[in-house]
Structure 1
């Protein structure tokens, strides 16, 4: 069997093209030319001996073989970046306060923080779970060093690091979706998850009522598990004993929301900078937004090493 070697940058381009559906957008996001991205994809098809993409109008989509390559590409990139981080992470120590809603703390951050802890064992991360609006105030006042939050309509600043698809959910044996008015388990007023759910139902002229209000995702899940209500959460929070529902049940489509990463103006320590960079990189890698560049993460860290040691 003839062995081939796949280039890491080509795999990054593949993932971005799949996420954006566009070579043009991938070229813009990765800072490369369109012909360069096209050549990378052609070379990848030559090396694998498979047709990876098919055209659906003006958008590219993956073939069955393309889906297989994409799955492995994501795993290879994660292992590649984690290895480089393990081998070359600077010996930084310190204490960082990270604020985020419990939804992201429970379903999005554990794997990233686990890798960070192994790479930077001397950094202590204190987790502060709260709703997005108060967290933005805390980070701007310097009471929280870094915050990962959902973008609300009145938010300013912050770095968009990921998008999360909102979905309707209920318990796997629940029939709450058949009730009218529709019983809802929602976050408190002022939260965009709640706003999108109600706006969608109003636009579809579906009657609804509030069955549960909870600042915690566990409260919303309890209402869904018990069959009391239908809730709206990010798709990453879809767990066992819950199922996604939608158009088949007559419910309106929901949008994606932006996740913002904030850093306090006073969070200039080496530890805070390291955690901020890690979150920005890995959240973008797993989400539907571009990679932070065409360089491996650890090389980016080395290029910016002066930020940590000055």
Structure 2
């Protein structure tokens, strides 16, 4: 049996392409060019000695061998990143203020921050919950070290770390979505969740009224649980007693941006920034203990080596 050595960067590129469905997005996240990512995938197929991608009608998918490489690759990356965290963590200490809307604080960050605390026991994280627009101002003024926010139309800068699918939600047993006009529970004006909800209903000719305005996700949930309104939230915030509704126009995904205060040199802040960028970029599955993500393969549209599009997108 011929022994081969797989470059960790090839595995990271492969997994990112599978998770994002895009060579363009993978190149942006990893700081490489699209041709470089394509060459890595082709080289990985050469080293593996088998085809990792196959045609599936008009689409492309992982072959069984490709799926095997992805699953093992995730375990390899988890152990690799865990080792680096364990080696570097003990000497980093400090205090970091992390700002984020309560939506993400409650449903997206707990498992990641729990793993971060184990990997960096000497770093103290102070969580500050607020809406995205004021948080961007705070991080630009240096009052918040790191901010995870929803991209609004006028935002500039920041690192796109993942996308969140917006969904219509109603309470179990609620008939609010059948009312005319539709009662809505929304965030305050200027929020993109609200903008997409209203634009979608207007485009489809649905009449609507505002039944609840809340800066907190708990207020929106209360309106949904009670059956007084429907709302729009990210899919990660759908909890028991809620259900997704398919009677309204489909909603887009929104970008989540990660900001750090200008001129930040704190090793503690940089460690948290890099940690969040890494794990949120891996599509937010439950991280494994002591610093590694435990991810499940998500079917994606892919292309075999040699058949990648010029724009690099899947």
Q: Same fold (TM over 0.5)?
A: yes
TM-score (norm 2): 0.78
Distance 2:255 2:26 in 1: 19
- 1:262 partnered with 2:250: no
Between Structure 1 and Structure 2, which shows a larger proportion of helix residues? 1
- Native 8 Å contact 1:211 1:229 kept in 2: yes
2:240 and 2:83 map into 1 onto residues whose CA distance is: 31
For 1:179, the equivalent position in structure 2 comes to: 179
Give 1:147's aligned residue.
147
Alignment of 1:1-310 (within 5 A): 8-22=8-22, 26=26, 30=30, 31=32, 32-41=36-45, 46=50, 53-57=54-58, 59-62=59-62, 73-74=73-74, 77-246=77-246, 249=247, 251-286=248-283
Cα distance in 1 for partners of 2:68, 2:239 equals 24
Cα distance between partner residues in 1 of 2:263 and 2:156: 18
- C-alpha contact (below 8 Å) 1:148/1:260 kept by paired residues: yes
Of stretches 26-35 and 167-176 in structure 1, the one that deviates more from structure 2 is 26-35
Measure the CA separation in 1 of the matches of 2:238 and 2:69.
25
Shift of 1:243: 1.6
Instruction: Quote the offset at 1:136 in angstroms.
Output: 0.9
Query: 2:266, 2:24 → 1: CA distance?
Result: 38
Q: 1:23 and 1:241, CA in 2 relative to 1: closer, same or farther beyond 3 A?
A: same
- Partner of 1:135: helix, strand, or coil? helix
Instruction: Tell me how far apart the structure 2 counterparts of residues 276 and 27 of structure 1 sit (CA, whole Å).
Output: 19
The SS at the match of 1:210 is: strand
- d(CA) in 1 for partners of 2:210, 2:63: 43
Shift of 1:164: 1.0
1:180 to 1:262, Cα distance in 2 relative to 1, 3 A:
same
Q: Is the 8 A contact 2:53 2:60 kept in 1?
A: no
Q: Between Structure 1 and Structure 2, how many residues are aligned?
A: 281
Aligned Cα RMSD in Å?
3.1
User: Corresponding residue for 1:304?
Assistant: none
Question: Which secondary structure state, in structure 2, belongs to the residue aligned with residue 272 of structure 1?
Answer: helix
How many Å apart are 1:20 and its aligned residue? 4.1
Decide which moves more: 13-22 or 157-166: 13-22
- 1:14 deviates by 3.1
Preserved CA contact (<8 Å) 2:86 2:119: yes
CA contact (8 A) 1:201 1:252 kept: yes
C-alpha separation in 2, matches of 1:41 and 1:217:
45
TM, length-normalised to structure 1: 0.79
The structural deviation recorded for 1:267 is 3.1
| Unaligned 5+ runs, structure 2 | 286-291, 294-314
In the superposition, relative to structure 1, how do residues 33 and 135 fare at CA in structure 2: closer, same or farther (>3 Å)?
Answer: closer
Q: Is the 8 A contact 1:187 1:214 kept in 2?
A: yes
1:56-111 per-residue CA deviation (whole Å, 9 max, x = no partner) reads: 53x43346886687566545534542343123325111111110000111111111
Q: Which residue matches 2:288?
A: none
Q: Looking at both structures, which has the greater relative contact order when contacts are Cα pairs under 8 Å and sequence separation is at least 6?
A: 2
SS of the aligned residue for 1:89 comes to helix
Flag the 1:252–1:62 CA change in 2: closer, same or farther, 3 A: farther
